[in-house]
Amino acid sequence: MNSLDPQIVIVEMRGQLTQNIGRVLRNFLKVRPIILSPEKAAAYIETHSVRGIILSGSGNSVNDTNAPHIPASIFSQWYKVKKIPILGICYGMQWLAAFFESRVANIERLREYGPSRITVISTDVLFYKTPVEQTTWSDHSESVLNPGGAFRIIAVTGVGGVAAIASHSYNIWGVQFHPEATQCEFGEQILRNFVIEICRCTSNWEPSSVVDLIRGETVEAIGKRKVVLPYSGGVDSSVVAALLAPVLGNRLVGFTFDGDHLRHQEGVEIAQHARICRLHWEMIDLKTQFVNAVAAASTDGEKERNAFQGVYVSGIRNRAKSFDPDSGQILIAQGTLAPDVIESGETGGHRVVGHHNTGLEKLLPEYDFLHPLQELFKHEVREIGRILGFPQSLSHRHPFPGPGLFLRILGIVPTHELLELVRWLDWRVREITVAHGVYDEISQLVTAYGHLYMHGVRGNEPAKGCPALIRPFKTTDFMTGEPYYLTPTVMSELSRELVKDKRIGRVLFDYTPKPPGRTEYK
């Protein structure tokens, strides 16, 4: 095993938290994992030296005919021959139990969602340094009933179900809860016990050591082909650009579509960031195409995202063809991150919201794609940006959704005039929060215009106007998050400033956490 090779194979069973398992292993344990489908995982394990296997959760039932399954033909390699330790999480545990002929059933009294209590009833290394009673995070309607054979129950749930099982003879463990969830009280320690104490993994993940690794693996996949990079100017696409540009030179071209959806002076900022990354870059004016397409999609957020993606895909195809008419010699690189893939349902879980940069393989089947960062989260990519020498203004740049200001116009069809209004609102909110020294404390600052007339007064006359909505959001992984509370002084100044435009009748501050809210409004 090379010192930087993946040590843990995470088998993707279509779970929404699968990428979080990888995040905990990288960030907390400094161990490099690899996330693969069951079929690819089976092939990888047969040809590579790995120290452990984790079977993820899933939105499926093991009793479904279309449920994800591990190829049984190679399963014997894992526990009979190589003796590789296996940890099944939620669905992963149920799948293991069912494989060994235990019953898995939907029993209403055993269902658990959210915080749940477990009791450890048998001494086992998996629960080393954790208390007998502890709070976990569960999301399951089905449960393992009376696991038999070589398995023994090592923890039970507060509602009388099986919380964890172990088979030392098979080198297999299973937990019904999600230790990778941030809400699981001792989840990191439980994963540490499996990865470090049981699998004997050693630290081999540091952002400083993986920059060359990611660059090397990506360049190897590219070969002699050319690459086009849709470039937003944010830290994600900038990291991809900075990794590839020094190696590819003129074989890499970046471009940004101006669909009239960018923020104030953002074109200038993107050009500066492209220069920092040494990226050959251009701005392509598609204002009319984007506005017309999104306006035709009514005011439904998902329809607007799909309409935006349609023009986005067409623009990529045209730029790729002009770069090299032979589509077989072109690759499309993207700065897609784990939250984009998860929320879009690309991992097999529920589709929470569409992202313009996911699922493009189906829309552009004539091209191959590169997603060097798709297993990483925002804070990990920021760290890589710092290592690459990015200034703070780039490495900590606030995320901005692909459809941009289109998503900040609520309840009315977007027009160039409304885009200009919300662009001004966003600019003034940023200026004021920067002046008060709080902008950099906020993870993402959403400023939107809501088309809902509210009555008020200006001078001595009645007036009516629509609200500006301000949502300051604080998060690490962008999967969950909490509001960032502005001070009364800042809120007062924002309110006074934004109502100077007579179209704005109220200023509303949104302090909803995620969940139940999303970061953006649509």
CB 147 within 8 A of CB 102: yes
- 137's tokens: 């995070």
Which residues, including other chains, have CB under 8 Å from residue 68's CB and lie 6 or more apart?
12, 13, 14, 38, 58, 60, 348
Q: Which of 12, 112, 180, 383 is catalytic?
A: 180
With CA atoms as reference, report the closest residue to 285 among 309, 308, 310, 261: 261
Bridge pairing between strands 133-140 and 461-474: unpaired
- The span from the CA of 312 to the CA of 264, in Å, is 21
Q: Which of 12, 90, 261, 356 is catalytic?
A: 90
CB 90 within 8 A of CB 144: no
- The span from the CA of 350 to the CA of 346, in Å, is 9
- The span from the CA of 245 to the CA of 231, in Å, is 13
- The span from the CA of 205 to the CA of 198, in Å, is 19
Which residues, including other chains, have CB under 8 Å from residue 130's CB and lie 6 or more apart?
120, 186, 189, 190
CB 506 within 8 A of CB 436: no
Torsion region of 138: left, alpha or beta (phi above 0 gives left; psi -120 to 50 gives alpha): beta
Strand extents, DSSP E, 58-179: 86-89, 103-105, 112-120, 133-140, 143-145, 152-157, 162-167, 172-175
Q: What angle do CA 131, 134, 138 make, to 5 degrees?
A: 145
- The span from the CA of 198 to the CA of 341, in Å, is 30
Q: Is 178 a catalytic residue?
A: yes
Q: Which of 178, 273, 355, 371 is catalytic?
A: 178
- The span from the CA of 344 to the CA of 446, in Å, is 20
Which residues, including other chains, have CB under 8 Å from residue 492's CB and lie 6 or more apart?
none
Residue 336 three-state SS: coil
- The span from the CA of 351 to the CA of 68, in Å, is 18
- Write out the catalytic residue numbers: 90, 178, 180
